[in-house]
Amino acid sequence: MGLKRISWRKGLTKETDERVSKAAEKSSKTKKRLFKEGKLIPHNKGKKFSEESKIKMRKAWTPKRRREQSKRNITMNTGEKHTKEHIMKNRLAHLGKNNHFYGEKHTKETKEKMKKSWTSERRKKHAETSKMNAIGRKASDETRRKMREQRIGEKNSFYGKKHTKETLNRISGENAVNWRGGISFEPYGKEFNNHLREQIRQRDQYRCQQCFRHQSELRTKKNNPRKLDIHHINFIKTDNNPQNLISLCLNCHNQTQFNREQWTRYFQDRIGGMI
């Protein structure tokens, strides 16, 4: 009946499966706990889908539609700012007869509603927001500088400490080569820009989808705040369909560099469950 989902475990021996299996178990426990504590919101909150409609939705993502969506993302998410020329063209395109509202008039009722909606409170708020936006940039730069100063030298939590041999082995040498090599020589799709990344983080409620740590807890080596990585589930860095993207913290992202095939299946299964 319907679409058969293949378990990510299928065809794997116990031995090769073990690491991913353990990680999956731990992850699902954390997820359950966070749901209980109300820190995670179910993805389908407010809209309960029947099994039938879930299957339908999954089927709707045909390879053709995936390709089309991907193309759409390219044009939507190139991240290039609109040029002045482009903005003018756009404006002209919607002028006069070309505007969808051309020839139509708001009813008196609508006009009244529009007027009323600008209450003095809303006006005040609007003015405040504009002001905040103007000074926000400066304030955050200042805060960043202060935060940096606090972490220099003795104040840094890693000050005077050394990585153990084991850790060094893990983070350098061949492992690091695999990792870096994978990144620097594979081209990312043009649409894989900050905007798309941020959308995925938002979709994932700013939590690593493996250990569910919140982005606010993540730090760089230098103890600076670190954003969640966006992982390409099938390891194809040009496939930037949102269904192929998932937020992971650096630790969990590193884990995925081994047993790639298993991790691909595992996260595909995960993402499938989200729709």
Among 265, 245, 259, 130, residue whose Cα is nearest residue 198: 245
When asked if residue 249 is in the footprint of Zn ion (CB under 5 A), the reply is yes
- Closest separation between CB of residue 259 and Zn ion, Å? 16
Q: Which window, 2-10, 115-123, 158-166, 251-259, contacts Zn ion (CB under 5 A)?
A: 251-259
Give the distance, in angstroms, between the CA of residue 87 and the centroid of all CA atoms in the same chain.
28
Rounded Cα gap, residues 218 and 238, in angstroms: 26
Q: 202: part of which helix (H) or strand (E)?
A: helix 194-203
Rounded Cα gap, residues 100 and 94, in angstroms: 8
Are 24 and 209 spatial neighbours (Cβ–Cβ below 8 Å)? no
- Closest separation between CB of residue 248 and Zn ion, Å? 6
Rounded Cα gap, residues 53 and 55, in angstroms: 5
Q: Which is nearer to Zn ion, 196 or 249 (CB)?
A: 249
- Closest separation between CB of residue 39 and Zn ion, Å? 15
- Closest separation between CB of residue 38 and Zn ion, Å? 20
Are 200 and 230 spatial neighbours (Cβ–Cβ below 8 Å)? yes
Cβ-based neighbour number of residue 249 at 10 Å: 23
Q: Which is nearer to Zn ion, 31 or 151 (CB)?
A: 31
When asked if residue 252 is in the footprint of Zn ion (CB under 5 A), the reply is yes
- Closest separation between CB of residue 175 and Zn ion, Å? 17
Q: Which is nearer to Zn ion, 196 or 218 (CB)?
A: 218
Contacts with Zn ion, 176-215, as mask; x by CB under 5 A = --------------------------------x-xx----
Among 217, 223, 205, residue whose Cα is nearest residue 249: 217
Total site size for Zn ion, rule CB under 5 A: 5
- Closest separation between CB of residue 256 and Zn ion, Å? 10
Q: 110: part of which helix (H) or strand (E)?
A: helix 108-117
Q: Which is nearer to Zn ion, 189 or 252 (CB)?
A: 252
Q: Which is nearer to Zn ion, 29 or 155 (CB)?
A: 29
Kindly list the distances between the CA atom of residue 40 and the CA atoms of 62, 121, 271, in Å, as whole numbers in the listed order: 30, 33, 16
Q: Which is nearer to Zn ion, 189 or 267 (CB)?
A: 267
List interacting residues with Zn ion (CB under 5 A): 208, 210-211, 249, 252
